[in-house]
């Protein structure tokens, strides 16, 4: 040891290491995790009767209002679904709201897959990532990201949720979008009523 230097206090070193570890777990792609999803209320807006849609491969189910326009898509093994309130917003795009659920095959963990997705969003010129966080939906740990995007005619507020069982090679991506940036956070909170109906099969 050089003359004049003092040994680093062991407690200070442990505190430093703990702080670094805690900080890493509390960020994704340099963005601090917050609890927006759990804190924002799902308003008691009556969405009417809901219809349940199930993946034909029995991977998941999700519910949409009966008066929403719902479209399904199929690939060789995976399934996607998109629903929007087209009837109630046909004359005003800024009232348009939508939810989609798609599945992709991946060998990445939930954390790695979500981090790569968020990194890609940050690199898009027309996208501004606002918040990221973790929560649990119907017993499944998820990672979510809130961002705004500029479209040709308007702007959108988006909430994307990544879900993946640890033993599975399929990641599920839910996306809620509201057109127009006015009160987009509150409007996305209201769509939690539908996002929270998403359930993975127990198989």
Going from the N-terminus, what domains does the chain have, and what CATH number goes with each?
Answer: 26-200 (3.40.1000.10)
Tracing tokens 């966080």 back to the chain, one arrives at 133
How far is it, in rounded angstroms, from Cα 100 to Cα 92?
20
pLDDT value, residue 90:
57
With beta carbons less than 8 A apart as the criterion, state whether 162 and 113 touch.
yes
Task: Count CB neighbours of 184 within 10 A.
Answer: 20
The span from the CA of 97 to the CA of 179, in Å, is 6
pLDDT at 57: 81
For residue 82, the model assigns a pLDDT of 92
* pLDDT score at 14: 38
Whole-prediction pTM: 0.81
How far is Cα of residue 158 from the mean position of the Cα atoms in its chain? 9
* Partners of residue 135 on adjacent β-strands: 142
Per-residue pLDDT of the chain (203 residues; tens, 9 = 90+): 444 444 445 444 433 344 333 344 688 877 777 777 777 776 667 777 899 998 888 889 999 999 899 998 877 657 789 999 876 555 567 788 999 999 888 999 999 999 999 999 999 999 999 989 999 998 899 999 999 998 777 788 999 999 998 888 999 999 999 987 678 888 898 898 899 999 998 76
Determine the pLDDT at residue 120.
Answer: 93
Instruction: Tell which residue, 173, 199, 57, 171, has the closest CA to residue 105.
Output: 171
């Amino acid at each position: 040891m050089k003359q004049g230097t003092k040994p680093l206090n062991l407690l200070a070193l442990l505190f430093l290491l703990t702080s670094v570890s805690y900080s890493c777990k509390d960020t994704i792609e340099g963005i601090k995790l917050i609890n927006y999803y759990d804190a924002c209320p799902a308003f008691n807006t009556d969405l009417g009767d809901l219809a349940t849609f199930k993946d034909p491969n029995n991977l998941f189910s999700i519910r949409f209002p009966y008066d929403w326009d719902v479209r399904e898509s199929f690939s060789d093994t995976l399934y996607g679904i998109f629903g929007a309130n087209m009837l109630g917003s046909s004359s005003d795009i800024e009232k348009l709201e939508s939810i989609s659920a798609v599945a992709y095959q991946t060998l990445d963990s939930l954390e790695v897959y979500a981090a790569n997705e968020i990194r890609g969003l940050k690199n898009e010129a027309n996208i501004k990532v606002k918040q990221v966080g973790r929560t649990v939906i119907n017993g499944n740990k998820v990672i979510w990201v809130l961002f705004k995007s500029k479209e040709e005619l308007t702007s959108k507020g988006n909430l994307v949720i990544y879900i993946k069982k640890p033993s599975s090679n399929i990641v599920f991506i839910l996306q809620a979008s509201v057109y127009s940036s006015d009160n987009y956070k509150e409007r996305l909170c209201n769509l939690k009523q539908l996002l929270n109906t998403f359930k993975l099969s127990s198989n």
